[in-house]
């Protein structure tokens, strides 16, 4: 049975505006997974949760359809993503 991870985006906070952004063919090795971030270049950062103790960050590349491991492992459900914006503003002036 082929499984997919569909990513839906809500536009401008309107609940009825959900649009399917992409569909990722889930590998057989994925038991539980969570999309953490979609980068500006379209790559999707995914937490692949193996069991209650371990997970790995993986990257989905939409152009090639390839999923690759990042080599970053940790406890299940402990990864988070924070966005930031670079600035040249000096804070102490």
Give the pLDDT confidence score for residue 72 in this predicted structure.
86
Give the pLDDT confidence score for residue 64 in this predicted structure.
93
Give the pLDDT confidence score for residue 74 in this predicted structure.
84
Give the pLDDT confidence score for residue 80 in this predicted structure.
80
Q: Model pTM? A: 0.74
Distance CA 55, CA 75 (A): 6
Vertex 54, ends 84 and 72: CA angle to 5°? 45
Identify which has the larger pLDDT, 1 or 38. Answer: 38
pLDDT in tens, 5-47: 898 988 888 888 899 989 999 888 778 888 999 998 999 999 9
Distance CA 60, CA 47 (A): 11
Distance CA 47, CA 77 (A): 8
pLDDT in tens, 44-76: 999 988 877 888 899 999 999 999 988 888 877
- Domain locations along the chain: 3-74
């Amino acid at each position: 049975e082929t499984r997919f991870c569909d990513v839906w985006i809500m536009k401008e906070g309107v609940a009825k505006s959900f649009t399917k952004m992409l569909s990722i063919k889930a590998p057989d090795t994925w038991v539980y997974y969570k999309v953490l971030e979609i980068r500006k270049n379209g790559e999707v950062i995914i937490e692949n949760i193996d069991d209650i103790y371990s997970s790995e960050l993986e990257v989905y590349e939409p152009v090639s359809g390839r999923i690759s491991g990042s080599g970053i492992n940790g406890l299940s459900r402990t990864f988070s993503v924070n966005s930031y914006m670079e600035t040249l503003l000096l804070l102490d002036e």
